[in-house]
A = this chain, B = another copy of it.
Amino acid sequence: MIKNIKINDGDAVRDLQTLIRQPSVSAKNQGLVECAKLLAQIMLNAGIDTKLLYLTNNNSTEGEEEDNNSNIPSSPATQPPPLSSPPPIVYGEVKSKSNPNGKTILFYNHYDVQPVEPIELWDKNPFSGNVEGNYIFGRGAVDDKGELIARIKALEYYIKKTNDVPCNVKFIVEGEEEIGSVHLKEYISLYKEKFKCDGVIWESGFVDTRGRPIISLGQKGILSIEIVSKGPCRDAHSSLAALIENPTWSLIRLLNTLRDNNGNILIENWYNEVRGFTDEEISLIEKEPFDEDALMKEYGISSFINNAKGIEVKKAFAGMPTCNISGLVSGYVGEGSKTVLPSTTVARLDFRLVPDMIPQIQFERLKKHIRNYLLSTSNNNNNNYNGGSSNNTTIEIRLLGSEPATRTSINHPFVNIIKEAAIEVYGDAIINVSSAGTGPMYYINKLLGVPSVCIGGTDIPNRSHSPNEYMRIDLLNKTIKCMIVILEKFAFSCY
């Protein structure tokens, strides 16, 4: 069947440009509803039955929480949600006429994008969707509007050719992925019946430099926290450093206790629940290509943490819990100088987690570590200890967000279907046990009870989250083809 389906790449590029040109930056709550409506129109045009789903406060039935089709996107929703409510999920569905009782595949994607800053590093307007040769540039070109368009177009071409689809298909396209999928769990709980499916194709997937798709089966989790160290109640002149303790010192001493020079996290029991790799996973990791030199060159470094090489690098990337300082601020480092003793110092950290680590438990361990640390410094220095304070410094810790890690078993038949489809289109495929990144895959796997697999057309140096993000048009088309083959193979599988 695939041989007869026509891929019209101009068509896919135009739809992608349309989506890129509608900014949808979730971190700034910019253009989300507008983008959701525009996307719904594109999906409707493709032949996908599409609705905007909202979370509402009442416990009414699902139907009452949906925008009516006819309201998308030409008129405002009949029950417009409050301004402060989360952005809608764009939900799409196509029932197979020939195979209505067969399996259902669900595509998980997102229509929100990362902020474009630093804007001065973009060659063109980040929302222009500028095409140059084989490249479409713009924020979201690949992450995730490009991947999403590939899936929509696969459906559209299939329907146009056959007036049907080989299996039931669902789409969940959320608007908060780039800010931690804040409401996805709630959405899934509320619309659990609607989202019922047999397997999920995750938002994206990489294609390596040799053109082989990397089929990834998991995601690390994350624990994002903020530590605030408070000293004097107002900034002081730095001459007072002879008398008043600068809260930056306490924070530095504390941070210094969290991790050793080789990347090991020093918080008690931190690694207790870490699930190791199975022998099968290890042998997959061994087979997985990894261009150490290219990565080192890209980042201008000469070695990896702990001097890791070979399989140790790949194991760390897929399965090492990390402790990273993503932000630190105190006082003044602007132009000129300011002789200030700052009243407050703030650090942000993200801890990547692996399967079986429970974010809330890890957070409690971190809090205990900080309490013990403060008690010990307090004793050593005859300072008062009062709750979270020592040496006239109060340490506060705040949970910013968390997501557990997940891995789909490499033995699940769904994995094999995707692999076979990928080999058919690309000639080869690589199985990756887990991505080093984080997403809400855990909630979908857990709440819907299904496997998730990442496959897509993202070039490895794609600059997602960075200036001059791009999608390769050849990969866009190949991904459309791959999705068509997945639909067919999935329809006729029997697990």
Q: Which of B25, B242, B352 contacts A241 (CB 8 A)?
A: B352
Complex contact B339–A350 (CB within 8 A): yes
Q: Is A327 an interface residue (CB 8 A)?
A: yes
A400 closest partner in B (C-beta): B337
When chains A and B are docked, how far (Å) is the Cα of A336 from the Cα of B242? 36
Complex contact B308–A243 (CB within 8 A): yes
Complex contact B326–A341 (CB within 8 A): yes
Chain B CB within 10 Å — which of A28, A256, A348, A463 has the most? Answer: A348
Complex contact A466–B235 (CB within 8 A): yes
Min distance, Cβ A368 to any Cβ of chain B, angstroms: 21
Complex contact B238–A27 (CB within 8 A): no
Q: Is A317 an interface residue (CB 8 A)?
A: yes
When chains A and B are docked, how far (Å) is the Cα of A239 from the Cα of B391? 35
| B-chain residues with CB within 8 Å of residue A119 when the two chains form the complex | none
Min distance, Cβ A329 to any Cβ of chain B, angstroms: 5
A27-B464 in contact given A333-B328, A333-B346 (Cβ < 8 Å): no
A306 closest partner in B (C-beta): B381
Q: Is A446 an interface residue (CB 8 A)?
A: no
Q: Is A494 an interface residue (CB 8 A)?
A: no
Min distance, Cβ A257 to any Cβ of chain B, angstroms: 10
A242-B256 in contact given A325-B331, A327-B333, A466-B236 (Cβ < 8 Å): no
Query: How many chain-A residues does the 8 Å CB contact rule pick out?
Result: 104
Q: Which of B252, B261, B391 contacts A380 (CB 8 A)?
A: B261
When chains A and B are docked, how far (Å) is the Cα of A436 from the Cα of B300? 44
Q: Is A259 an interface residue (CB 8 A)?
A: yes
Write the A308-324 contact mask toward B (1 if CB under 8 angstroms, else 0): 10000100110010111
Q: Is A8 an interface residue (CB 8 A)?
A: no
Write the A59-78 contact mask toward B (1 if CB under 8 angstroms, else 0): 00000000000000000000
Q: Which of B232, B301, B336, B437 contacts A244 (CB 8 A)?
A: B301
Q: Is A338 an interface residue (CB 8 A)?
A: yes
Q: Which of B180, B238, B391, B463 contacts A337 (CB 8 A)?
A: B180
When chains A and B are docked, how far (Å) is the Cα of A327 from the Cα of B344? 11
Complex contact A348–B336 (CB within 8 A): no
A292 closest partner in B (C-beta): B243
Q: Which of B299, B326, B401, B435 contacts A232 (CB 8 A)?
A: B299
Write the A208-239 contact mask toward B (1 if CB under 8 angstroms, else 0): 00000000000010101010000111111111
| B-chain residues with CB within 8 Å of residue A232 when the two chains form the complex | 299-301
When chains A and B are docked, how far (Å) is the Cα of A475 from the Cα of B350? 51
Q: Is A423 an interface residue (CB 8 A)?
A: no
| B-chain residues with CB within 8 Å of residue A305 when the two chains form the complex | 242-245
Write the A93-122 contact mask toward B (1 if CB under 8 angstroms, else 0): 000000000000000000000110110010
Complex contact B328–A337 (CB within 8 A): no
A342-381 residues with Cβ-Cβ distance < 8 A to B are 342, 345-348, 350, 352, 377, 380-381
Q: Is A340 an interface residue (CB 8 A)?
A: yes
Q: Is A4 an interface residue (CB 8 A)?
A: no
Q: Is A492 an interface residue (CB 8 A)?
A: no
Q: Which of B118, B328, B334, B437 contacts A115 (CB 8 A)?
A: B334
When chains A and B are docked, how far (Å) is the Cα of A336 from the Cα of B322? 21
Complex contact B328–A114 (CB within 8 A): no
| B-chain residues with CB within 8 Å of residue A339 when the two chains form the complex | 222, 224, 324, 326, 350, 438, 465
Min distance, Cβ A143 to any Cβ of chain B, angstroms: 9
Q: Is A166 an interface residue (CB 8 A)?
A: no
Complex contact B307–A466 (CB within 8 A): no
Min distance, Cβ A269 to any Cβ of chain B, angstroms: 20
Q: Which of B25, B224, B253, B466 contacts A234 (CB 8 A)?
A: B466
Complex contact B233–A299 (CB within 8 A): yes
A179-B117 in contact given A241-B352, A327-B330, A330-B325 (Cβ < 8 Å): no
| B-chain residues with CB within 8 Å of residue A175 when the two chains form the complex | none
11 A-B pairs besides A117-B332, A303-B383, A328-B329 with CB distance below 8 A are A25-B336, A114-B338, A115-B332, A239-B317, A242-B352, A249-B261, A261-B391, A327-B330, A327-B331, A329-B330, A340-B465
Nearest 5 CB-CB pairs, A to B? A27-B336, A233-B300, A232-B299, A327-B333, A241-B324
